[in-house]
Amino acid sequence: MTFKDLNLIEPIQSALVNLGYSVPTPIQQQAIPIILEGKDILGCAQTGTGKTAAFSIPIIQQLVNRKAEKDAVAYQAGRKNRRDIKALILTPTRELAAQIGDSFTSYGRNTTLKHTVVYGGVSQRPQTNAILKGVDILIATPGRLLDLMGQGFIKLNSIEFLVLDEADRMLDMGFITDIERVIERIPVKKQTLLFSATMPDEILGLAQSLLHNPERVQVTPVSSTVDTVTQSMYLVDRDDKPHLLVDLLDSNDIETALVFTRTKHGAERLVKTLISRGINSDAIHGNKSQNARQKSLNDFKRRKTRVLVATDIASRGIDINQISHVINYDLPEDPETYVHRIGRTGRAGFEGIAFSFCDKSEIGLLKSIQRLIKTEIPIEKESIFLSQECLDRIERIKLSSRPPRGSKNQEEGKSEEAPQRSRARSDRFFEKRRDERSKSSKSGNRKRGDFWKKGRKKSA
């Protein structure tokens, strides 16, 4: 299938050709026709699968078609149509909002639609100026959106499309109350599109309250890793982590690297270490201003910066196709975050490599990650920084979790034989009790309450 098979209008087709896109990704193949039919969608897809285009392209097409019809009616009536906000896209982070805005710019460049992006951390004046001039599409983070609504700059009474992107991330960040306040101000009749990288019960509950007979689109199993990413695990003492990272980066094979740390201060310390070793690097985290974060991202995109050290606030907000390596300097405490982190590489058909460092305090996190992704990540045993203590611990864990040799509870007989043996023992036990009761009742010696007296004597 190509984009030509999706019945897209010529302005969008031309934009896709200019961008070099010809074949839609699986989620685009499934979601675009459904959205064009006007149906609600519950979409589950990992980062890097092209879900932004999956909702932005059909929204642009429907708005263009509806605008043409309304303009024609207004022209005949001798009046000019007012430009109200017709589509609202809610996102959890400033970086993701900016990147979705870039996508609408790219796909809608040959149309007359206007859009703007609003988020906190920067002056609101440029944002309010754009809104006052009139926009068709608004991309926003919940906090700044509610702020501008409260000031009277934004009215949502004309919304026809509502998109919740990275819905699970918004719930994790505590935006559920803000989302509910926004939804109260939006018309009931609208098309709602909910996209999430994972699908916990909270998201399913939110979807049930928001969506009307939604079509479910799921192109990748929940919490699975991308096939185009090669994963490796380095067992290392904590003090050796900086030396291991420098050793890996000294290799010319690593063109660009996105390095994840657990804390903001850890990211800053690591950048200082790398710069002192002559490695061009920068950090992005929540303590930086929005302008500084955007500059760091742009320098990384343009290859001015070779290594970008990030905290998890950026793990779903960085949309760069050709990152050659992702390095988990610290393993994440949430196993699903591992999936989102390594999803920053191996995108848009490119191959990617993910290195992870694990010290002895993180072995439990490693087990949780491997349990989630149902894959044992290969250990780099030839590394000069290999921690023998970590390796021994992991080997002991493997031995302790392995069933004894010759055990009948191994997989072959576990599913059928074990329950059958258990039922047989249970049947024999109750049959014996029935026989005892029968003998006791026939003898006529047992009186009411004898059983409990006997029990009290035993316990005493």
Q: Is residue 434 one of the residues assigned to a domain?
A: no
Domain of 286 in residue numbering reads as 229-401
Distance between CA 137 and CA 117 in Å, rounded? 9
Specify whether 251 is located in the same domain as 388. Answer: yes
Token pair of 93 as six digits: 């982070």
Q: Is residue 327 one of the residues assigned to a domain?
A: yes
- In three state form, how does the secondary structure of 96-112 look? HHHHHHHHHHHHCCCCC
Token pair of 293 as six digits: 């974060």
* DSSP-assigned letters across all residues of 204-253: HHHHHHH-SSPEEEE-S-TTPPPTTEEEEEEE--GGGHHHHHHHHHTSTT
Distance between CA 260 and CA 326 in Å, rounded? 8
How many domains does the chain contain in total?
2
Specify whether 254 is located in the same domain as 298. Answer: yes
Residue 301: the pLDDT is 86
Q: Which candidate, 22, 33, 32, 28, places its Cα nearest to that of 49?
A: 28
SS3 87: strand
Token pair of 69 as six digits: 């019809």
Q: Which candidate, 341, 351, 322, places its Cα nearest to that of 225?
A: 341
Specify whether 58 is located in the same domain as 203. Answer: yes
Residue 220: the pLDDT is 59
Q: Is residue 435 one of the residues assigned to a domain?
A: no
Distance between CA 64 and CA 459 in Å, rounded? 82
Please state the length of the chain.
460
Distance between CA 169 and CA 421 in Å, rounded? 46
Q: Is residue 70 one of the residues assigned to a domain?
A: yes
A 10 A CB-CB count for 91 gives: 29
Specify whether 29 is located in the same domain as 145. Answer: yes
Verdict on whether the full-model pTM lies above 0.85? no
CA within 13 Å, CB half, 281: 25
Q: Is residue 415 one of the residues assigned to a domain?
A: no
Label residue 395 exposed, middle or buried (CB < 10 Å: 0-12, 13-18, 19+).
exposed
CA within 13 Å, CB half, 12: 23
Q: Which candidate, 331, 309, 311, 334, places its Cα nearest to that of 238?
A: 331
Distance between CA 140 and CA 92 in Å, rounded? 8
Specify whether 92 is located in the same domain as 137. Answer: yes
Q: Which of 161, 185, 218 is the last residue of a domain?
A: 218
Q: Is residue 406 one of the residues assigned to a domain?
A: no
Specify whether 211 is located in the same domain as 238. Answer: no
Cβ atoms of residues 357 and 385 within 8 Å: no
Residue 449: the pLDDT is 43
Q: Which of 401, 420, 437 is the last residue of a domain?
A: 401
Distance between CA 98 and CA 254 in Å, rounded? 27
Distance between CA 231 and CA 326 in Å, rounded? 10
Specify whether 373 is located in the same domain as 250. Answer: yes
Q: Which candidate, 90, 33, 87, 353, places its Cα nearest to that of 206?
A: 90
Specify whether 272 is located in the same domain as 159. Answer: no
pLDDT along the chain (460 residues), means of 10: 92 92 90 96 80 95 88 64 89 88 94 95 93 95 95 95 90 84 94 86 86 87 65 95 94 86 91 94 81 84 91 65 88 85 76 92 92 90 92 85 53 45 49 54 47 40
* DSSP-assigned letters across all residues of 396-458: HHHHHHSPPTT-TTSHHHHTTHHHHHHHHHHHHHHHHHHHHHHHHHHH----TTHHHHHHHHH
- Positive or negative: CA dihedral 34, 138, 220, 175: negative
Angle, CA of 111, 219 and 232, to the nearest 5°: 110
Specify whether 25 is located in the same domain as 148. Answer: yes
Specify whether 46 is located in the same domain as 15. Answer: yes
Label residue 158 exposed, middle or buried (CB < 10 Å: 0-12, 13-18, 19+).
middle
Q: Which of 358, 375, 401 is the last residue of a domain?
A: 401
Specify whether 302 is located in the same domain as 342. Answer: yes
Residue 319: the pLDDT is 65
Specify whether 336 is located in the same domain as 245. Answer: yes
CATH of the domain at 328: 3.40.50.300
Q: Is residue 426 one of the residues assigned to a domain?
A: no
